Structure 1
Amino acid sequence: MLDDTITKDLSADKQYSIGVIGDIPALLAFWEMFRDQANDAVLREIGIVAAALPGQNALPGIYEQAHGIPLHKTWQGMLEDHPEINMVIEATGRQTLQSELRTNLPAHVTLVERDCANFFIRLLTSDKIWVACKLDLMHTQTMLKTIIDQLDEEILFLDLEGTILGCNKTVADRLGSPKRAIVGGTVERVFGPDEAKALEKTIKTGQSSESTATSVDHEGRAHYHRIYTYPISSEEGQVTHIVAMRRDITRRTHLEQRLQQSEKLASIGELSTYIAHEIRNPLFSISGFANSLMRSEGLDEKTTEKIQIILEESKRLDKILKSIMNFTRPTDADAREMNLNDAVHNTMNVMGIGFDEKNIRLILDLHPNVAKVKANEDQIRQSLINLVKNSVEAMPEGGELRIETGMNDGFVRLTVSDTGIGIPPDKRDKLFSPFYSTKGKGSGLGLAMIRKIMDELGGEVELVSHEGVGTTVTLNLPPVAAVRPVAQEDAS
């Protein structure tokens, strides 16, 4: 026989101690089937102690060498040598042997006939298949969960009432809550009312839908999202659940807006040449003749008033033309090193006059060691004037106007903050577009010009606003690097 540890492993600490009775072919077939189809959990409860081969004397060594199970010529001898046996399996199916065992087995030994043993082995097989399917399902579930949790998009699994049944890790990370705290909530609380509208459309039509939503974070920055809702249907084709996915498209939207603005600027540049030659010359003629008429004698009051209107409208049109011409010119002309703090002081010494009457409190917080920038000082001052005018107009009842300078992420920072009415999210997309104005007057080129100046200088414009709280606009200007001019380096 082989090492006794094999037998000990099969029989030690088992709930059942089994003796198998049969001929060699039946015993071998039974054993192989039992070993192949029983799982580890069952084998821990069942232990085969010995086998009996009534009337079989041929080739017992083969079985012993294969399995290390003690063999006996009679079942009586097997029970005498192994009194711990409490179950006997009859593997031949012979009626005479089964009748003999029913009559003579001790009362504490249970008889399991071959058909019954086969039935239980099939149960073991089913159990093993179930366990394998369960493990495969768990593996698939874990893999799917891992993939969904790694996506940057926020994903919700919803019922038809909009109640959250599950979510991915991206949602939990954004909310700072565990998934179990999110489950049971509503889509409006996690995403917003716009997503709820998309959900209603999918429930109503049974088709997937897309929509775009805008939100404002706690810092007052606008975020753009694309929402996708997908129906999950039963085998009968009835929608039972909804999958909602939200993708952050803020950066893409920002780039698209910049591209659209660049296209507008290109069109304006082409148009400005036509305006300069085809409109401005007739405008000068109109203005000149109007001035000549004003000097004429014998004009009545109504005629003088009409001519005055012509002159005023001519001046207003000329001012708009100048704004357009200035807008299309390169902004880096006459750029030189300048001190931003000095420009702020010089500008606000003039702009600040009359703030007390408007109940506006001016605060200047200028960092003493701010780096110099290379820009056209007149354009920087004009940018500051435009921002200050916007802030003053946003505070009709008065408030606080704060102007700060400093350094931030390698840029020289100029920030203008107010405590005004703020800007609605639906208007922020157009603020930096040429000819767009929320005031009903002016050319609408102020903020567009500021962005153009910043782009050509290699800087950035940032806008943060809360309705009813105020607005902050930050100009980030590249500082002058501590590098000697090329001519000096060559001379040295």
Structure 2
Amino acid sequence: MNELGSIISETPYLVGIVGDRSSLGAFWEQFGSALGPGAFSRVTLVAAALPDGQDNADKPLLDLPVFPNFRDMLYMHPEINLVVETSGVPKQIKELRELLPPHVILVERAAASFFLHLLSTEEMWKACQVDLTATQSMLKTVIDQLQEDILFLDTDGLVLGANNSVIQRTGLERRELVGRRLDEIFEHMELRPPRGCGECENPFESTLRTGEPSEALGTSVDPFGRMHYYRLYTYPIHENGRLARVVAIRRDITSRTEIENRLQQSEKLASIGELSTYIAHEIRNPLFAISGFANSLLRTENLDHGAHEKLDIILAESRRLDEILKSILNFTRPMEQREGQCDLNEVARDTLEFMSIAARSQHVDTALDCSESLPRAQADPELIKQCLINLIKNALEAMPQGGAMRIATTMRGEFVALEVADTGPGIPVDIRDRVFSPFFSTKGKGAGLGLAMIRKIMDDLGGDVHLASREGEGTRVSLLLPPVLAVAQSESNE
């Protein structure tokens, strides 16, 4: 630091004030409101002086020693090195200029007011800066605490900033995010960029075009093959009447979508239940008549070969239709809550042995991975076997040219899990959310109630069913069942 800087930063100012009663009071109020940290923290008011002839019986508004003139003030306080004149009276200013010692600085009223005004402005600026810093800190803390991904974009779609959620999901530093395009961020998150509904445009592009908020649905498949849904919302930020920036917020709605899908399925089941009685009466009765007359015609003598084949087709299709009707009726009928305990390892071994012939005929390699010390599940073994057979059939149908299938049992959180995994083509993303819907099938045959029935059974048992699939890699379906608790076993033995 140079010599001048040292003098400015270290010199204390011991101030004596000279003026009349009104100007001293006004100066004291202005000085007290403006004084704060910084250079003025080294300013100390030592004493005050009233001009000769003024009544000083009552002290002015300053809590300082008061003298009848500046000479007495300087005599009693020789340490004073700066005098402030507050009245602006020319005669008094002239006298001060002539009689003040050389080491005492004189600051006249106009100069004092000017510097106090600067000080007030500086303190106000510092207060505003403190408030702004606190507001920015609070806003950043709130944004970083949100679980949603928040991105701040310019009108070219380049990232200006992001919250901690984006940083954690992408694995990029904050400085690495700045300047990247929104599509690049989605690639790091392994997300499909949202394209809106149907032919709707990208929400960011829509906000740029209209200047209004927009939103769209997007999807992703995690490394475990599980489907995720999210909503991307874009909000415009206007400055001086023009669009300056865009805020993009991505919210994971997978759980909400799952609940909505199950609600829709429940509504479908309710409608199916209302129709089941009508179907049973109005369709099965004429179907029984068709089958009976076809059987009777088959026993007719002199029946040519062509007619015989047609009757066989009628009977086969009648039986297939009857099976579909039975599936519908069984699906809509309330399930009997048969209590029981199920050894999933035993069910897996027995079912795989039963289905191994069909697997070998399709050149499908099978593997069984049973977890040791697995607790029993609260379920009827026959129901679980029915679900497992259905899953194995689905896996074999997905691999007509051969492949590999693995059945495993394990603990997953608080549930006992039974999993069937195949190396088939996987389930396309666009239909994955419909595979558990009643009457949805990609096989072109059957009633499409297999997976829907499995979910219904799991729900009734207090469990769940999870599906994970990656196109070109295969599919894994997990049945999650509640375990038999020790307390329940103890109560049953009492």
TM-score by length of 1: 0.86
Deviations 1:218-241 (A, max 9, x none): 2222222222221111232x2111
1:303 to 302, 307, 322: 307
CA contact (8 A) 1:102 1:111 kept: yes
SS in 2 for 1:438: coil
- For 2:430, the aligned partner's letter is D
Relative to 1, partners in 2 of residues 1:114 and 1:447: Cα closer, same or farther, differing over 3 Å? same
- For 2:463, the aligned partner's letter is G
Q: Does 1:423 align with 2:430?
A: no
Relative to 1, partners in 2 of residues 1:56 and 1:466: Cα closer, same or farther, differing over 3 Å? farther
Q: Does 1:328 align with 2:332?
A: yes
SS in 1 for 2:357: coil
Relative to 1, partners in 2 of residues 1:358 and 1:75: Cα closer, same or farther, differing over 3 Å? farther
CA distance in 2, matches of 1:32, 1:406: 79
2:222 to 217, 232, 236: 217
SS in 2 for 1:241: strand
CA distance in 2, matches of 1:306, 1:220: 47
CA contact (8 A) 1:163 1:187 kept: yes
CA distance in 2, matches of 1:479, 1:90: 91
- For 1:479, the aligned partner's letter is P
SS in 2 for 1:89: strand
- Which residue in 2 is equivalent to 1:351? 355
CA contact (8 A) 1:332 1:375 kept: no
CA contact (8 A) 1:338 1:375 kept: yes
Report how far residue 343 of structure 1 moved: 2.1
Structure 1 stretches of 4+ with a deviation exceeding 6 A read 485-488
Relative to 1, partners in 2 of residues 1:259 and 1:380: Cα closer, same or farther, differing over 3 Å? same
Report how far residue 354 of structure 1 moved: 4.9
Q: Does 1:59 align with 2:49?
A: no
Q: Does 1:228 align with 2:228?
A: no
- Which residue in 1 is equivalent to 2:457? 453
- For 2:34, the aligned partner's letter is Q
SS in 2 for 1:361: strand
Relative to 1, partners in 2 of residues 1:18 and 1:446: Cα closer, same or farther, differing over 3 Å? same
Report how far residue 261 of structure 1 moved: 1.1
2:211 to 206, 210, 216: 206
CA contact (8 A) 1:72 1:78 kept: no
Report how far residue 203 of structure 1 moved: 1.0
- For 2:469, the aligned partner's letter is S
SS in 2 for 1:260: helix
Structure 1, 452-461 or 130-139: larger mean CA deviation: 130-139
Report how far residue 286 of structure 1 moved: 1.2
1:74 to 60, 70, 74: 70
Relative to 1, partners in 2 of residues 1:300 and 1:79: Cα closer, same or farther, differing over 3 Å? farther
CA distance in 2, matches of 1:488, 1:125: 84
2:395 to 383, 391, 396: 391
CA distance in 1, matches of 2:68, 2:398: 104
Corresponding residue pairs, total: 475
Q: Does 1:112 align with 2:107?
A: yes
Report how far residue 50 of structure 1 moved: 4.5
TM-score by length of 2: 0.85
CA contact (8 A) 2:369 2:409 kept: yes
Relative to 1, partners in 2 of residues 1:103 and 1:486: Cα closer, same or farther, differing over 3 Å? closer
Deviations 1:100-146 (A, max 9, x none): 44455566554322112112211112222222222233333333333
CA contact (8 A) 1:14 1:44 kept: no
Relative to 1, partners in 2 of residues 1:30 and 1:481: Cα closer, same or farther, differing over 3 Å? closer
2:37 to 17, 35, 40: 40
SS in 2 for 1:363: strand
Relative to 1, partners in 2 of residues 1:335 and 1:111: Cα closer, same or farther, differing over 3 Å? closer
Report how far residue 23 of structure 1 moved: 3.4
- Which residue in 1 is equivalent to 2:6? none
Deviations 1:377-407 (A, max 9, x none): 3332221122112222333443331111133
Deviations 1:43-91 (A, max 9, x none): 224344444445257427835x953457573349728953661x43222
Relative to 1, partners in 2 of residues 1:396 and 1:305: Cα closer, same or farther, differing over 3 Å? closer
- Which residue in 2 is equivalent to 1:30? 27
Root mean square deviation, CA, Å: 3.1
- Which residue in 1 is equivalent to 2:244? 240
User: Percent of aligned positions with the same letter in both sequences?
Assistant: 50
Q: Does 1:94 align with 2:89?
A: yes
CA distance in 1, matches of 2:261, 2:446: 22
- Which residue in 1 is equivalent to 2:386? 382
Structure 1, 373-382 or 416-425: larger mean CA deviation: 373-382
Structure 1, 151-160 or 313-322: larger mean CA deviation: 151-160
CA contact (8 A) 1:14 1:46 kept: no
CA distance in 1, matches of 2:174, 2:416: 42
CA contact (8 A) 2:59 2:66 kept: no
Relative to 1, partners in 2 of residues 1:57 and 1:469: Cα closer, same or farther, differing over 3 Å? same
CA distance in 1, matches of 2:264, 2:67: 91
Structure 1, 300-309 or 471-480: larger mean CA deviation: 300-309
CA contact (8 A) 2:48 2:64 kept: no
Deviations 1:331-362 (A, max 9, x none): 33655434322222222113112534544221
1:128 to 98, 102, 123: 123
1:462 to 439, 456, 466: 466
- For 2:38, the aligned partner's letter is A
CA contact (8 A) 2:56 2:68 kept: no
Deviations 1:313-336 (A, max 9, x none): 222212211221222234336554
Structure 1, 447-456 or 420-429: larger mean CA deviation: 420-429
CA contact (8 A) 2:218 2:230 kept: yes
Relative to 1, partners in 2 of residues 1:77 and 1:339: Cα closer, same or farther, differing over 3 Å? closer
Deviations 1:278-306 (A, max 9, x none): 11121122122222223333344433333
Q: Does 1:166 align with 2:150?
A: no
CA distance in 1, matches of 2:323, 2:332: 14
CA distance in 2, matches of 1:481, 1:49: 84
